[in-house]
Amino acid sequence: MFFKSRIAVVCGLLSIAVATVSTSSAQQADADPIQILVSHLDLASYKSTLKGLTQFGDRRQGTSRNRDAVDWIEQQLIATGCDNVERLTFNYDPEPRPPRAARPLTAVLTTPTGGIVGRNGSGPGGSSVYGYRAPTGVNRDLNAQPDERIRLLNTEEPVNGERQEVYCTKIGSTQPDEMYIIGAHMDGHGVNEAVNDDGSGTALVIELARILNAPNVQTERSIRFALWNNEETGLNGSRAYVEQRQQLQGIENPAGSGNYPEPRWLGMIQHDMMLWDHGAPRADGTVSRDQRPEADVNIEFQSASDLADESMRLAFAFKAAADAYNTDYPATVGPHMTNTDSTPFMNVVPSISLRENERGAHTGAGWNPSWHTPRDVWTNFTDKDFRLGLNAAQTTLSAVATLAGATID
Is-contact 133 363, C-beta < 8 A? no
Backbone angle region of 271, left / alpha / beta, with phi > 0 → left and psi within -120 to 50 → alpha: beta
Q: Measured between alpha carbons, how far is 121 from 126 in angstroms, rounded to an integer?
A: 9
Q: Measured between alpha carbons, how far is 72 from 85 in angstroms, rounded to an integer?
A: 12
Backbone phi, psi, residue 93, to 5°: -145, 70
Per-residue pLDDT 10s for the chain (409 aa) are 444 555 554 455 455 444 444 444 444 445 899 999 999 999 999 999 999 999 999 999 999 999 999 999 999 999 999 999 999 999 999 987 776 555 444 433 333 333 433 333 333 333 344 444 455 579 999 999 999 999 999 999 999 999 999 999 999 999 999 999 999 999 999 999 999 999 999 999 999 999 999 999 999 999 999 999 999 999 999 999 999 999 999 999 999 999 999 999 999 999 999 999 999 988 888 899 999 999 999 999 999 999 999 999 999 999 999 999 999 999 999 999 999 999 999 999 999 999 999 887 888 888 899 999 999 999 999 999 999 999 999 999 999 999 999 999 9
Q: Measured between alpha carbons, how far is 101 from 111 in angstroms, rounded to an integer?
A: 25
Is-contact 112 99, C-beta < 8 A? no
- Kindly report, residue by residue over 296-310, the tens digit of the pLDDT: 999 999 999 999 999
What is the value of pTM for the model shown?
0.87
Domain positions in the chain are 2-94+102-408
pLDDT for 9 equals 44
∠ Cα 61 64 70 (to 5°): 70
Write the CATH number of the domain with boundaries 2-94+102-408.
3.40.630.10
Say what the alpha-carbon torsion angle 344, 330, 378, 279 is, to the nearest 10 degrees: 90
- Kindly report, residue by residue over 346-362, the tens digit of the pLDDT: 999 999 999 999 887 88
